[in-house]
Structure 1
Amino acid sequence: MWPRVDGMRAMELGAPGSMRDELNALVLVGAKRATTGLLGEYAEEDERLETVGERLALLDNEGAAVAVLEITGVEVKAYDEVTWEHAAAEGEGDADLDAWRDVHRRFWSGEGTPVQGDTLVVCLGFRLTDGPSASSAPE
């Protein structure tokens, strides 16, 4: 099971360390409004998919909540079907969809889960509802 904070499920972006710090910073300034996870991890962790309107606690490297996110979209699709619109909303500076795929493929392979074109992923959209820049985050 994923951590719970103040009654909410938690979201931990990327790998612990500098990657998580960088991704959280992108969320907190409003640049990152989406993320992608492996569907298989939900089964491994005995977790259900997020739902639109659900609020999640965004955690830092120490497990402390740094913001609250509201889920705005949930889609399950094959890795090769992820759209540029979703990839760009991740806000990580990828030049195009091929670059996004390369970065994510390397990350998941490095974590021990190689992905193929038909690997199912969960594409989440979210908005910042409570955090340093929530008042200026796009709705």
Structure 2
Amino acid sequence: MTIPETGPTSTPTSVPTSGADDLPPFELAFPGPLRDRLVAAVLSGAKTTTTSLHAAYGPDEPLPQAGERCALIDSAGRAVAVVETTEVRVLPLGDIDLRHAVDEGEGHTTVARWRSDHEEFWLGPESLAAIGDQDFTLDDSSLVVTERFRVTERLG
């Protein structure tokens, strides 16, 4: 499970791709208002990166790969766009830079503010339950998975 949170590199089309239902899901946050805001930011072109905790990936769950196409899922469980991962990095939380924080499209203008918001989410009860470790903590050396992506088409 991916647990999160400058412009588009191409203009998405409005014609759905056949087989979009067969794509793996691209889910940001948990269903609800935060996911709705993140999906809207992706669709507007403001959000072109995301970050998840490496610890959120199970031992048999593969990390995302550059070139992978996925269906962006909204809070209602609908596929609303096809996104293509263009870059994946695994790095310590302390190495997140301002470009990545800004490209998350959530209005952060400093890495410190980005980190504070993300730590609050990652250490929240839903995220800790998903990780399966209520005692999980974060520091500069905690590994995160960063993804850069682009919308290749809008669905519906």
Say yes or no: TM over 0.5.
yes
TM-score, normalized by length of structure 1?
Answer: 0.85
Equivalent residue number for residue 75 of structure 1: 89
Q: 1:96 offset after TM fit, Å?
A: 0.5
Cα distance in 2 for residues equivalent to 1:81 and 1:50: 19
Secondary structure of 1:100 counterpart:
helix
Task: State the alpha-carbon separation in 2 of the partners of residues 30 and 109 from structure 1.
Answer: 28
Residue 7 of structure 1 deviates from its aligned partner by 2.3
Provide the secondary structure at the position in 2 that maps to 1:43: coil
Displacement of 1:6 in angstroms is: 2.3
Unaligned runs of 5+ in 2: 3-19, 129-135
2:21 matched to which residue of 1? 6
Within the candidate set 20, 28, 31, 2:35 is matched to 20
Q: CA deviation at 1:85?
A: 1.2
Aligned length: 129
Partner of 1:13, secondary structure, is: coil
Q: Could you say which structure has the higher strand fraction? A: 1
> Could you say which residue in structure 1 is the equivalent of 2:110?
96
**Partner residue, 2:137:** 114
Q: Is the 8 A contact 2:98 2:109 kept in 1?
A: no
> What value does the CA root-mean-square deviation take over the aligned residues?
1.7
Following TM superposition, the consecutive aligned residue runs of length 4 or more in structure 1 with deviations greater than 4 angstroms are: none
* Counterparts of 1:119 and 1:57, CA distance in 2: 28
* One-letter identity of the residue aligned with 1:68: V
Aligned partners of 1:13 and 1:20 also within 8 Å: yes
Q: Do 1:12 and 1:60's aligned partners in 2 also have CA atoms closer than 8 Å? A: yes
Task: State the percentage of identical aligned residues.
Answer: 43
TM-score (norm 2): 0.77
Query: Higher relative CO (CA 8 A, sep ≥ 6), structure 1 or 2?
Result: 2
Instruction: Kindly name which structure, 1 or 2, has the bigger radius of gyration based on alpha carbons.
Output: 2
Structure 1: runs of 5 or more not aligned: 133-139
